[in-house]
Amino acid sequence: MKVNILKLVMLSIAVGFHGINAMGQNTRMTVMEEKNVMRLATFAGGCFWCTEADFEKVPGVSKVISGYTGGRTAAPSYKEVCSGKTGHLEAIQVYYDASKVSYGKLLEIFWTHVDPTDAFGQFADRGPQYRSAIFYHDEEQKRLAEQSKAALAASGIFDKPIVTEIREFSTFYNAEDYHQDYHKTCSLQYKMYRSGSGRDDFLKSIWGSGKAQMPKIDEDRAQKGAGGGDRSSLEPAPAKPDKETLRKTLSSLQYQVTQQCGTEPAFMNEFWNNKREGIYVDVVSGEPLFSSRDKFDSGTGWPSFMKPLESGNIVEREDRSLFSKRTEVRSARGDSHLGHVFDDGPRPTGLRYCINSASLRFIPKEDLEKEGYGEYLKLFEPDRTRPRP
């Protein structure tokens, strides 16, 4: 059951209003329902009463359904999900007209209505069933979700890591009838719960009165898989070379690191102590990744950066290898393993992108124009200089 006492009280009232029989209704999304809409998006952001209410206000959204997804139990009941043992999250499915609202806009709504740094619930609701997550339905949604998460992480808006999961969608189970449109059918109880949950106070502290702006992503560019930056938008994204080609063009260490998630020795790699001005690009795809302006000495023996040069060219994934949970960093176009990102970096981002030199190619400032990266020369103009971190 939810730990929020107010919500428990409101729930008991709601059951009284709508009848106990509603508790036994566990319906699945039908194929016919999916065919009758243009697009479908699935999000988990804590209490589905709140996320449903937030997304129903968005122009272009035709319907929002509360339910459960991401777990093991088939057709779970609300009580089973509340136990935290089913693996399911409280979630919503959003039916939207892509000609009126884009998936990128829905992502923006999602990020600005949750606490993406909370791995153990949302606001007053605690437990695994209240974690935040984005469930993608296709590769386009996956790419956009990963790029928007990377952009938010690099923005420095939050002083903690972004822990919202990005997962492949499987099955969605509709919640019981009394949960649907709860903000309308039980508006008084809903308002009391929402006020007491702390959700709106938190959102106001981060986003209220223009305090922060959600970073924008280029959806057209993302759909092409080209990543970020002017150079990427002008060129089609080439296919990634096959493994045999990569074995011939990369050194053994570069291949091991980028293609097999290897790690090079600390203090014994090419760029850990490089202090020249310029940018670092993916050794496989050439997509711009980091700038010397954001490089700092972390004392680890690997190149470290406060933020990406182009957030859209960076993809973050959960890494549970080595008996720990870390955040892996990969390139968007080249799909190269780069390293990991940690939350022990300097201000203003508080992040440390710990990157393998073998994943990178360094383009000195004086070579940017001839190498085709001339748009980044402006980073090194005298009036843009600042103290080193």
Tell me the domain boundaries of the chain.
Answer: 5-210, 233-384
pLDDT in tens, 127-184: 999 999 999 998 889 999 999 999 999 888 998 999 999 999 999 999 999 999 999 9
204 C-beta neighbours (distance < 10 Å), count: 11
Segment 355-373 shows an average pLDDT of 95
Give me the percent of the chain exceeding a pLDDT of 70: 83
Catalytic residue positions, numbered: 47, 354
pLDDT in tens, 296-334: 999 999 999 999 998 778 888 888 887 788 899 999 888
pLDDT in tens, 111-126: 999 999 999 999 999 9
283-300: b (≥16 Cβ within 10 Å) or e: bbbbbbbbbbbbbeebee
Question: In the chain, which ranges are continuous DSSP H helix?
Answer: 5-18, 31-35, 48-56, 78-82, 103-111, 139-155, 182-185, 187-197, 199-207, 219-224, 230-234, 243-249, 252-260, 368-371
Q: Which two tokens stand for residue 96?
A: 């939207």
Q: Who wins on pLDDT, 1 or 152? A: 152
Q: With respect to CATH, is domain 233-384 assigned 3.90.226.10? A: no
pLDDT of 63: 93
Above 60 in pLDDT, residue 46? yes
For the entire predicted model, the pTM comes to 0.53
Q: Who wins on pLDDT, 99 or 202? A: 202
Architecture of domain 5-210: 2-Layer Sandwich (3.30)
pLDDT of 233: 35
DSSP-assigned states of every residue in 48-94:
HHHHHHHHHTSTTEEEEEEEEESSSSSS--HHHHHTT-S--EEEEEE
pLDDT of 108: 95
Top mean pLDDT of 2-16, 34-48, 213-227 is at: 34-48
> The sheet that has 295-296: what strands, in order across it?
295-296, 304-305, 352-355, 337-342, 326-331, 314-319
